[in-house]
């Protein structure tokens, strides 16, 4: 359902993002209130995103050496998204709606065919990995037929916290928060919040078990990963 008032914390989070079309309609949009997506500043923002997405997805990797591709991809990604941390790589094709409403943390890896309807903010933490064909959908619609005839919609923010793994073809719906360290199984449809350190699968997605935190794993002498060293 749509919100009835603006969300100051979401608006504040958007303040320092690249390319944000700050206006009354934008603030209503990211706050989850009903809004018209065909207002001129919103149309202009989506149009800009289409051009930047084209640049990102059509970049000819053969034009530079393999050891420069990561750096160039990050440069293009930072022109497309609101904010991107160091060490993050997104395989093309990548399909955002506004782009400027997307925050991606550091050292993330996102595989092919990520779709992000960033009507509201979509915030991805550090060291998140996302499989192929995932959809992060912050946009929502009422069941009211009249709302569609009036061409109004809403969006609620999505948060994916640090150290999560989102399996291939998962769908994350509006307003969902996925807690730190959680794994979402391939093909899952996430309709509600998932708590930290969970393994959750299914349609709708449900928690099947909980797991240790990284700190608990480090302190577990039987953990097979504790002595492994990253090579980069």
| Active-site residue set | 141
Alpha-carbon dihedral sign for residues 130, 131, 132, 133: negative
Peptide bond into 93 cis (omega under 30): yes
Residue whose pair of structure tokens reads 């948060």 in the numeric block: 159
Query: Beta-carbon neighbour count of residue 220 at 10 Å?
Result: 12
Across the strands, what pairs with 210? 198
Q: How far is CA 24 from CA 6, 21, 167, in A?
A: 10, 10, 36
DSSP conformation letters of 171-209: EE-TT-EE-TT-EE-TT-EE-S-B-SSEEEETTTTEEEE
Task: Find all residues with CB under 8 Å of 186, minimum gap 6, and list them.
Answer: 131, 167, 168, 169, 170, 201
Please state the φ and ψ torsions of residue 208, each to the nearest 5 degrees: -105, -30
Calpha distance 190→88 (Å, rounded): 24
């Amino acid at each position: 359902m749509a919100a009835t008032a603006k969300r100051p914390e979401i608006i504040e989070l958007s303040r320092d993002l690249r390319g944000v079309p700050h206006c009354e309609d934008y603030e209503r949009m990211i706050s989850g209130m009903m809004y018209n997506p065909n207002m001129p500043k919103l149309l202009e923002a989506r149009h800009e995103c289409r051009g930047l997405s084209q640049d990102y997805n059509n970049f000819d990797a053969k034009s530079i050496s393999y050891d420069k591709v990561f750096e160039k991809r990050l440069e293009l990604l930072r022109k497309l998204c609101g904010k991107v941390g160091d060490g993050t790589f997104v395989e093309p094709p990548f399909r955002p709606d506004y782009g400027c409403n997307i925050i991606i943390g550091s050292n993330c890896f996102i595989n092919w065919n990520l779709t992000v309807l960033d009507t509201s903010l979509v915030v991805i933490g550090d060291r998140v990995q996302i499989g192929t064909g995932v959809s992060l959908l912050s946009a929502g619609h009422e069941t009211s037929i009249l709302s569609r005839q009036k061409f109004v919609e809403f969006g609620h923010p999505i948060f994916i916290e640090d150290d999560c793994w989102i399996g291939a073809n998962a769908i994350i719906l509006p307003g969902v928060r996925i807690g730190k360290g959680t794994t979402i199984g391939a093909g899952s449809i996430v309709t509600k919040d998932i708590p930290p350190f969970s393994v959750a699968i299914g349609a709708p997605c449900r928690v099947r078990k909980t797991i240790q935190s990284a700190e608990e794993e480090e302190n577990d002498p039987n953990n097979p990963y504790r002595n492994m060293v990253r090579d980069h």
